[in-house]
Amino acid sequence: MKKTFLLIAVLILTGACAAPPPASREAAPPAASPAAVAMTEADAIAKEKAVWETIKNKDWDAFGNMLADDQMEVTPEGVNDKAASIASVKKFEPTEVVFSDWKFLSIDKDAFIVIYTANTKGKYDGKEFKPLSARASSAWVKRAGKWLAIYHQECEVKPPMTMPPSKVAKATASPTPTPAAAPVTGSDPGANDRIVWDLFKAKNYDAFASLLASDLIEVEPDAVYDKAGAVKGVSMFDASKAVLSDFKSVNLDDDAALTTYTVKGDGTPDAALGVRHSSIWVKRDGKWLGLFHHGGTTVVKPAPAASPKDTPAQPATTPAKKA
């Protein structure tokens, strides 16, 4: 089995809230969210790149000092805490990292998200891996006046998923009429995502759209989507048999929270293996709305410790990075 590497820079690497359809267009988010912007895009990108520099320089103390104590790194093998992230990054030796497609999203004055593509070459655990390309997301929070990386996830870049016409028709048929009142979301991000998946199962996409912020960004293996693309994407798969598990959540601040979980049976190619998803919910004008989602991180079992005669497997995604 392939050994998945973690992309390593502000929250290490890295599964799919339904891969959006190939017809959906990749779209850049608005230049600024309604929330107060306390961080510029240029400064946010600089902070993310600085984490990668600590890894290149093998400065593990500096790397650890850039992570929040409650940091979470979503990888194919599992969800790492800060200690596990630091331990895993020590095995990663990048020789070349090329960034592109940067996007910046302000959560509020004390938190932001950066999204980008990283093309990486190097070694993992002493063995060279073939060039890898991944879509990466990192969230940062301001704690005691210092900006710290609290979340990172990656998924391998893949071409748009095509679904047989019969499955597309089945997924989009007989939508449930929009209820008089939209479901009520709250400060528990895990509960909010369960509400969202119940709406997917009911094919109630209008209600789903009502729970999203206008500047929502969704990251999937094939593209990065705006709100319209995300809503169109979920209408192209059958979530009737989806099972959610392994929820873990963390508060970013009083008005923003993140949850990560695993989905099986969502009708996508990796449904049997399971896919890791993460969402960030924010409170705006008294209502909790979905602002960010990252899917497409396919679950894999951690590789067993290799014996001296074993040859390490090729990673499935880019070497891990921390955000």
pLDDT digits (tens, 9 = 90+) for 181-208: 678 999 999 999 999 999 999 999 999 9
Q: What is the pLDDT of residue 266?
A: 74
Q: What is the pLDDT of residue 177?
A: 52
Confidence of residue 168 (pLDDT cuts 50, 70, 90): very low
- How many helices and strands in the chain, by DSSP H and E? 7, 12
* pLDDT surpassing 60 at residue 250: yes
* pLDDT surpassing 60 at residue 34: no
Q: Which residues pair with 292 in a beta bridge?
A: 217, 280
CA distance 203 to 21: 16
Q: What is the pLDDT of residue 1?
A: 39
Q: What is the pLDDT of residue 162?
A: 62
Q: Which residues pair with 218 in a beta bridge?
A: 225, 293
Contact present, 16 and 158 (Cβ < 8 Å): no
Q: What is the pLDDT of residue 104?
A: 98
pLDDT digit string (tens) for 82-135?
999 999 999 999 999 999 999 999 999 999 999 999 999 999 889 999 999 999
The percent helix, strand, coil of the chain (3-state, each to 5) is 20, 40, 40
Q: What is the pLDDT of residue 2?
A: 38
* pLDDT surpassing 50 at residue 245: yes
Q: Which residue has better confidence, 226 or 318?
A: 226
Q: What is the pLDDT of residue 55?
A: 95
| Closest among 156, 193, 190 to 297, alpha carbons compared | 156
* pLDDT surpassing 80 at residue 15: no
* pLDDT surpassing 90 at residue 276: yes
Q: What is the pLDDT of residue 120?
A: 96
Q: What is the pLDDT of residue 172?
A: 46
Q: What is the pLDDT of residue 183?
A: 86
Q: What is the pLDDT of residue 272?
A: 76
Q: What is the pLDDT of residue 37?
A: 52
pTM: 0.81
Rounded to an integer, the average pLDDT of 296-316 is 63
Residue 81 gets the label, from left (phi > 0), alpha (psi -120 to 50) or beta, of: beta
Q: Which residue has better confidence, 56 or 21?
A: 56
CA distance 14 to 132: 12
Q: What is the pLDDT of residue 297?
A: 95
User: Kindly report the CA angle at 148 between 143 and 153, in degrees rounded to 5?
Assistant: 130
Q: What is the pLDDT of residue 238?
A: 87
- Residue 56: phi and psi, rounded to 5, are -60, -40
